[in-house]
Amino acid sequence: MKRFENRRVIITGAATGIGRATAQRLASEGAILGLVDVNQKDLETAAQAARDAGADVETFVVDVADEESVRGLAQQVSDVWGGIDALVNNAGVDNKGGKVHEYPTELFDKIIAVDLRGTFLMTKYLVPLMFDAGHGAIVNMASFSGLAADADRSGYNAAKGGVVNFTRATATDYGSRNIRANAVCPGTIETPLVDELVGSADAEGKSFREQQARVTPLERLGKPEEVAAVVAFLASDDSSFVTGETITVDGGVMAFTWPASALTG
């Protein structure tokens, strides 16, 4: 029996990158998928790929930062499935904004709204759909930027740091109902978001990738599929006694305090 056979899983930010890779991974393991994104075109492409892998898939075009939209999603999911077994809060945005005194308030608000408020709203309205089943798993996508700071990205740092501690709060609130909550903190992963921030792997983004590789013990960027594998573990019964935890998937970046030859060799 596959790990997710007959398991109903909601994934936000499912159209591209880590969300799409997670959908593909869970589809291959038998999940029934509800894929959520604001990007309808790419969402449908991701959904078809998951169907081709054998999954039963529903799609929902939803802005996770909008409470009424999320409330409506919860009702739709309840009407279609009656409940869920797992929730992957992956939707997120990022942008460089400058030093704190220069950082645009509207950018700070946008990132907090999607990355942190969206995680809160999805959990608030979707976790009750786990109650009748008597079990559930929530996986929140944080970042190594939620564990340490980046230059000129205080909004993202604040949002992802909030996701890490919100995950602990969720684990504490729902452990007695056999509902687990864990966070994943990816490092720099080859996704469309990285392309958007620094350029693709051509000359524009080549320097950034070379710099990242130098400070990463594994000497490369990560792949969405590598993060998806960790999400699948945390959403499955293989992690049945793991809750309130944060797992970093960053090739070893957070393992050292002084990079030594990684920067100079």
Q: Give the span between the Cα atoms of 234 and 3, in whole angstroms.
A: 11
Q: Please tell me what DSSP assigns to residue 189.
A: B
Q: Active-site residue 174, yes or no? A: no
Alpha helices per DSSP H over the chain: 17-28, 40-52, 67-81, 105-111, 118-126, 154-174, 192-198, 203-214, 224-235, 261-264
Secondary structure of residue 45 in the 3-state scheme: helix
Active-site annotation holder among 103, 125, 156, 174: 156
Q: Give the span between the Cα atoms of 6 and 154, in whole angstroms.
A: 41
Nearest by Cα to 104 from 95, 113, 92 = 95
* Catalytic residue IDs: 156
